[in-house]
Amino acid sequence: MKYVTEYRDATLVKGVIDEIRRTVTRPWTMMEICGGQTHAIVRHGLDQLLPPEIDLVHGPGCPVCVTPLELIDKALAIASRPDVIFCSYGDMLRVPGSGRDLFSVKAQGGDVRVVYSPLDAVALAQQNPDKQVVFFAIGFETTAPPNVMSVLQAQRLGLKNYSILVSHVRVPPAIHAILSSPENRVQGFLLAGHVCAVMGYWEYPALAKKFNIPMVVTGFEPLDIANGILQTVQLLEANKVEVGNAYSRTVTLEGNQPAQKTIQKVFMECDRKWRGIGMIPMSGWCLRPEFDEFNAEKRFHVEEIKAEESPLCIAGQILQGLKKPHQCTAFGTICNPEHPLGATMVSSEGACAAYYKYGRIEMKDSVAS
């Protein structure tokens, strides 16, 4: 496939890996912040080709994994209402709330629908004036533009039966939290290419400087990721603290300015709980008060629903890059993709799901190739 196959070329990837091998002189620990990158790394087996000096740790960049339990419970409450059509990106359906998931709600008669875009939900609201249509607006900066556009579109159409349940998170505060932890061992960051396609990377030099850590904007194909790792290693070896861009075919320093302005018009920064991590101040986006009529939490009075996460798995430590999935005793035994203990196992972008799906044997049985 054009523009994909080229970036999966074995010879080109091997060339970059060889360059990493030639450049690296000592062990380095780096984090790919995005779950999409985690999946690409394990799906293509890129981690196995890297020299042993490079330790990749998986970041909290799966929006499905980090959506707080409390918000899932709110989603379940809203989706259970007979007057509601509840729309969600597909992989949220499997995330467990307190005792139930959206699949269960659907099986009990709730009208839960998988949509590919929030604008599909707006269209459903137009087609079903006697129903309340709610979209589960989760995601990092990447999905914020379509999610806010759906609100603006509903406003333009004068729809009174459309609202969104917002659980947006932002990357820079998460990086700040990880680097602030006394247990942090991350020495370099691969920044999430798609997030930066929207936001640019102007927010990151200050972070890099504050924590004295290089960062490189990185794409999602094997060649992109290998290049991101190479640039990070080059910066680390040269002791340079810079923010590089190894995904320049998509990402500019400024990012998509109209998209950023539209996000600011509808969303404002707010505190957000991250599942498995806890509260990170000002790490989320919520609807501005002037868009209250589109706020599903207010429309359905679910603001009071509270839920505490129970101490069963180590998803939190995995999301922060402190542990790898196979270091969890539950991994692959009592916790697997059908019966996930933790959100990292649930989403296709979650680190545990990636490991389970693509890498289980190499870790557990050390099978020779």
Binding residues for another protein restricted to 311-330, rule: CB under 8 A: 311-317, 320, 322
Q: The tokens 């290693």 sit on which residue? A: 233
The minimum distance between CB 67 and another protein, in angstroms, equals: 10
Q: Does 74 bind another protein (CB under 8 A)?
A: no
Q: Does 46 bind another protein (CB under 8 A)?
A: yes
Min separation Cβ 253 and another protein, Å:
22
3-state class of 29 per DSSP? strand
* Minimum CB–partner distance for residue 293 and another protein (Å): 25
What is the per-residue DSSP string for 242-296? -EEES-TTT--SS--HHHHHHHHHHEEEEEEEETTTEEEEEEEEEE-GGGGGGBH
What three-state secondary structure class fits 183? coil
Report if residue 142 touches another protein, rule: CB under 8 A. Answer: yes
96 near another protein (CB under 8 A): yes
If one counts every other C-beta atom within 10 angstroms of the C-beta of residue 198, the result is 20
Task: Please say which residue, 117 or 262, places its beta carbon nearer to another protein.
Answer: 117
Q: Does 281 bind another protein (CB under 8 A)?
A: yes
Query: If DSSP codes are grouped into helix, strand and coil, which group holds residue 355?
Result: helix
Q: Please give the residues from 243 up to 272 whose contact with another protein meets the rule CB under 8 A.
A: none
Q: Which stretch binds another protein (CB under 8 A): 44-52, 230-238, 247-255, 297-305?
A: 44-52
| DSSP result, 192-204 | EHHHHHHH-STTH
Q: How many residues does the chain have?
A: 369
Residue 304 or 365: which CB sits closer to another protein? 365
Q: What angle do CA 280, 288, 319 make, to 5 degrees?
A: 25
Q: How many Cβ atoms are within 10 Å of 327's Cβ, its own excluded? A: 12
Minimum separation from the CB atom of position 300 to another protein (A): 21
Is residue 45 part of the contact set for another protein (CB under 8 A)?
A: yes
Closer of 174 and 266 to another protein (Cβ):
174
| Residue 114, token pair as written in the block | 């998988």
Stretch that binds another protein, among 19-27, 161-169, 201-209, 304-312 (CB under 8 A): 304-312
